[in-house]
Chain A
Amino acid sequence: MGKPKAKVDDKICLACGGCISLCPHDALSMLGGRAFVAEDKCLSCAICIRTCPVGAISGEVYK
């Protein structure tokens, strides 16, 4: 069990790609037209969560 990972809500994501360009751990990519978090790479830094323009990414780590 590691830290809780960032999670993309498919119902909110507008697939702009910003999170992918910002993820320092290469954990995000576009998959099937939506952003997708590779859990094994996510280090829960929360950059994607803070910067998502529509609030589509959430995670326990971010309060």
Chain B
Amino acid sequence: MKYDVVVVGSGPAGTVTARFAAESGAKVLIVERRAEVGVPVLCGEGISQKIDDWGMLEGKRWIANKMEGARIYSPDGTMVRLSADMAGNETGYVVYRDIFDKELARMAVKAGTEIMMKTEVTGLLKENEIITGVKANQFNEEIDIEADIVVGADGVESKIGQWAGIDTLLKPHDLETCAQYTLTNIECDKEYCDFYLGEEIAPGGYAWVFPKGKDVANVGIGILASLSESGMALKLLDKFIGSHPELKKGEPVRLLAGAVPVAQPVETVKDHLLLVGDAARHADPITGGGLTTSLEGGKIAGETIGKAVNEQKFDNEILGSYETGWKEAFGKKLRRNYLVKEILLGFEDKTLNLLADSLKDYKFEEFSTFSIVKALVLKHPTLLMKLKPLMKISVEK
């Protein structure tokens, strides 16, 4: 079996990479260890409205709900409202990830990609230390899949990167450990994604309510793994729901656990190999949102691969334009937001409450450092000292 490219993993980063590689003329195979693309869903299912401009998906079947904005609740319950264009990556749509993923896979197949299900990659094929494909187990049969380029789209638990000598190990400080119910029979304000902050609610993370309709929502929690104890995410999620007057009326139709990197990206290119999506740690360190960066990065990866296949060159030099490309597109933002995450983790509940109180009635014309400073000067000027490191980062951009 010989391909130009083998993509390990059929999530959004993998299928978008495959699609754009195939569109540039490459012979592409996706291998998926599970028996169905997009299942089980491991995601809060929020995505930015930026996706409208990308034309990567057809139709509307993947959309559960369109959002008007986000509401952030500080530990004492003070609410700050942000409109969708200011709320960043996770506000825009709540999607059905199972359908969303299958649509992206369909687009990849339309471009000529082949998909193998129930095929678990067990190692890299190498000849004289050069990567020549992957070893896999398919229905308990060992197979070799030869390819000039291997793409690791194998998620947060990526082994592909590790096998290629990339340090993909996450520190507990750089991972959110998550649990989420899809709750039904609740009444929710379907125009808003809600975020709840506080040491008691979600240490080092937040709880979220992402409505999929007027009576159904993804209700989840992420806590920083370094602050976690055994089973804590699920326990705190149950507590959060139990203390919420509306959510506690609901019943779950789905439970999932998850792990979200809130880390700095890793090295993403080796000779004959690329990492995309969660495997590349392409998720926003503040929110944990990774769908937009996975799609954006996947497109750049696919186009780079197309070029490499056409020139029949597969070394770091030619594949390196993928790394340059994603760094240009969103690398700066990931780096900046990692620093912001570090600062936010140092804020006590008290500080968050004051911050929310300063911002709650402020009519944002734009969500910029300047407008936040203006709001703070008006209400709690002492907060400015605490926010100084944040200001510095946003001025540096």
Contact = CB atoms under 8 A, between A and B. Distances in A.
A24 interface: yes
B259 A54 contact: no
Nearest to A59: B230
Interface in B207-233: 225, 228-233
Interface string B252-266: 000111110100000
A42 to B, nearest CB: 15
The listed residue with most B CB atoms (<10 A of its CB), out of A22, A30, A53, is A53
Nearest to B34: A33
Interface string A42-58: 00000101111111111
B175 interface: yes
A16 B231 CA distance: 13
A17 B157 contact: yes
Contacts of A21: 156-158, 168-170, 175, 259, 261
B234 interface: yes
A14 interface: yes
Contacts of A62: 230
B228 A22 contact: no
A18 to B, nearest CB: 3
How many chain B residues sit at the interface, stated as a range, is 35 or more
Interface residues of A, number: 27
Contact of B169 (A19, A24, A53, A56): A24
A14 B230 contact: no
A53 B234 CA distance: 6
Given A17-B155, A54-B257, A22 B170 contact: yes
B33 A54 contact: no
Contacts of B230: 49-50, 52, 55, 57-58, 62
A52 to B, nearest CB: 6
A46 B259 CA distance: 17
B172 A53 contact: no
A7 B235 CA distance: 20
Contacts of B40: 15
Contacts of B258: 16, 18, 53
B172 A51 contact: yes
A23 B162 CA distance: 12
A26 interface: yes
B240 to A, nearest CB: 14
Given A18-B175, A21-B168, A24-B169, A53 B159 contact: no
Interface of A: 14-24, 26, 29-30, 33, 47, 49-58, 62
